[in-house]
Amino acid sequence: MANGKYQKATNNIYILQKLKQGDFSRKRIGIELDLQPSTVTYATSRMLEEGLIEEKGFVENSQKGRKQKLLGLNGNYGCILGIELLVDHFKAIVINFSGKKILEESREFSKDLIKEEKGSIERFEHITTFTLEFLANKIPNLNILGACIGIAGIISKDGKFIHSSWTQGLYNYDAKKFLSSFEYPVFLENDANCAAASKIYSENDTCIYTIVQRYAQNKVPENVPTIGIGMGIIIDGHLRKGWNSKAGEFRSIMYHGKILEKQLAISNMELASMEESEKTQKEFIRELIGNLFFAKGILDPRIIYLGGTMLKWQEEFEKILENDFPNENNSFDKNVFKIIQNPGNDVKKGASQLLLRSFFNLPSVNNQSIGWEGKTSPLVNEL
């Protein structure tokens, strides 16, 4: 990208980022972004033509003379689909371009509706297509800008390849051709990464989101534990996926075996009996806390969220934290853990926010190693 075009694209995105914070006059935009009035006028005129922004009235209590018009994002420019896709049902949220919630939906996949065998590519593609078409039919008059689908598994940085997902039964599945069949961009993302994205507090935030899910014994393949743990990592306001897209793949520092599917030192048989065994519950929580303190020591997060089924064990978690970790449990460490009280919405909400945020990314000259959510905004080519 030539220097002139790069600077123009950068200015455009800076203006959109500013308007994402609220409504502002052209004069205020120029002052706060240190841009020439002519630059702001030209850029906002193009954005008005494209329907990205709209006039929102006038500045209150403005000085005598010509009233200053307020500009803001145009929510009707389009909408984003955020989806948590599970084997037997989906949860979804639809937000508009300004981030306002339009719709929330969830639905089970009945056997009459989805006949393909669980763990097959055919089933995954069918439930994905069904979900996207179901949501599109709910918003027939809205322009869909894209969709982000959160699933449990290791997903490539470009959001088009599933390295492994035992819940979906997919391994080394290239979804690029399938996803490109839709009229708008569709990205896949790890569910814990999506959940973490829903909790970003500020542009320089660092936090960890730990999802703990319990599965019925008859729902998991052989050698796969009934407790699954995944972590989403946010550093300096950005999702971190690691060199091989495996950042956050949990493996206990106490487990030294060779079984790839295992995450904990506790045996799979013991985990399967957690509901009946108070001893196993305590061992599990103790091992989890020990690993989280290890992660805390390396990443120094503002907070470590715990979602999924952890709410069920909150009382026991707090007791063990208080009694078994006295050295680490000073006032600062005690407040670093937060068990989510309503975790059911975090994956779909974070999926929608990840995709929406990508429309406000600054242009990057070399972004080959960046995940799909960090690439140059697609709006750069429209302005």
CATH classification of the domain holding 94? 3.30.420.40
CA distances from 370 to 117, 169, 367 (A): 35, 27, 5
The phi and psi torsions of 275 (rounded to 5 degrees) equal -65, -30
Q: Which of 73, 89, 124 lies at the terminal end of a domain, its last residue?
A: 73
47 and 131 share one domain: no
Radius of gyration for the chain, computed over Cα atoms and rounded to the nearest angstrom: 23
Residues shown for the chain: 383
Q: Which residues of 336-367 are buried (b: 16+ CB within 10 A; e: fewer)?
A: bbebbeebebbbbbbbbbbbbbbbbbebeeee
Q: How many domains does the chain have?
A: 3
d(C-alpha 258, C-alpha 148), whole Å? 34
d(C-alpha 96, C-alpha 78), whole Å? 6
- pLDDT at 256 (0 to 100): 87
57 and 163 share one domain: no
Q: Which of 73, 93, 124 lies at the terminal end of a domain, its last residue?
A: 73
39 and 25 share one domain: yes
278 and 144 share one domain: no
Question: If 0-12 CB within 10 Å is exposed, 13-18 middle and 19+ buried, where does residue 323 land?
Answer: exposed
Question: If 0-12 CB within 10 Å is exposed, 13-18 middle and 19+ buried, where does residue 92 land?
Answer: buried
207 and 326 share one domain: yes
241 and 181 share one domain: no
CA distances from 237 to 208, 234, 301 (A): 11, 6, 11
Residue span of the structural domain in which 265 resides: 199-341
Low-confidence ranges of the chain (pLDDT < 50): 1
Please tell me what DSSP assigns to residue 289: H
String of DSSP letters for 38-49: HHHHHHHHHHHH
Cβ atoms of 265 and 226 closer than 8 Å: no
String of DSSP letters for 180-221: TTSSS-EEEEEHHHHHHHTT--STT--EEEEEEEE--GGGS-
CA 238 to chain centre: 11
- pLDDT at 201 (0 to 100): 84
The phi and psi torsions of 278 (rounded to 5 degrees) equal -65, -35
184 and 220 share one domain: no
The SS3 of residue 105 is strand
Q: How many CB atoms lie within 10 A of CB 164?
A: 18
Q: Is the pTM of this model over 0.85?
A: yes
CATH classification of the domain holding 46? 1.10.10.10
Q: How many CB atoms lie within 10 A of CB 161?
A: 17
269 and 313 share one domain: yes
330 and 370 share one domain: no
- pLDDT at 332 (0 to 100): 54
Q: Which of 73, 101, 130 lies at the terminal end of a domain, its last residue?
A: 73
**222-243 residue pLDDT tens:** 667 888 899 999 999 999 999 9
Question: If 0-12 CB within 10 Å is exposed, 13-18 middle and 19+ buried, where does residue 21 land?
Answer: exposed
21 and 154 share one domain: no
The identity of residue 255, as a single letter, is Y
- pLDDT at 340 (0 to 100): 94
26 and 144 share one domain: no
98 and 231 share one domain: no
